[in-house]
Amino acid sequence: MATSRKISKERMALKVSLAGTIFVATLGIGYGLYVGSNAILLDGMFSFLSMGMTGLSLYTAYLVSKPDDEQFQFGYAHFEPLINVVNGLLILVTCLFAFVTGIQTILQGGHDIILGDAIVYAVLSTVSCFSIYFFETSIARSVDSELVRVDSQEWLVDAILSAAILVGFILVIIFDAMGYSKWNAYVDPILVTTLSIAASVLPIKVLRRNLKEVLLVAPQDSVQEHVDQVIAELSEKYDFDDYTHHFAKIGRQYDLEINILVKDEKRWTTKQQDNIRQIIWDKLEADLGETWLSVSFTGQERWL
Q: Does the pLDDT of residue 13 top 80, yes or no?
A: yes
At residue 73, the pLDDT reads 67
Cα–Cα dist 65/57, whole Å: 12
- Span 272-295, mean pLDDT? 85
Distance CA 133, CA 57 (A): 16
Mean pLDDT value of segment 229-257: 87
The rounded distance, in Å, linking the Cα atoms of 196 and 97 is 8
Range from 35-44, 64-73, 217-226, 246-255 carrying the lowest mean pLDDT: 64-73
pLDDT for position 1:
45
User: Alpha helix locations (H) across the chain?
Assistant: 2-35, 38-63, 79-107, 115-143, 146-178, 184-199, 201-214, 222-238, 270-288
Band (pLDDT 50/70/90 cuts) for residue 5 is low
Question: Which helix (H) or strand (E) is 247 found in, with range?
Answer: strand 242-250
| pTM (2 d.p.) | 0.68
User: Rounded distance, CA 262 to CA 299, Å?
Assistant: 5
Give me the mean pLDDT over the 73-90 stretch.
Answer: 78
Query: Residue 199 pLDDT > 90, yes or no?
Result: no
Query: CB within 8 A of 147, min separation 6: which ones?
Result: 10, 14, 57, 60, 61, 80, 83, 84
- The domains found in the chain, sorted by start residue, are 2-214 (1.20.1510.10), 222-303 (3.30.70.1350)
DSSP structure class, residue 39: H
Cα(first)–Cα(last) distance of the chain, in Å?
A: 38
Q: Kindly report, residue by residue over 26-67, the tens digit of the pLDDT.
A: 888 888 888 887 778 877 877 777 777 667 767 776 776 677
Is residue 135 very low, low, confident or very high in pLDDT (cuts 50, 70, 90)? very high
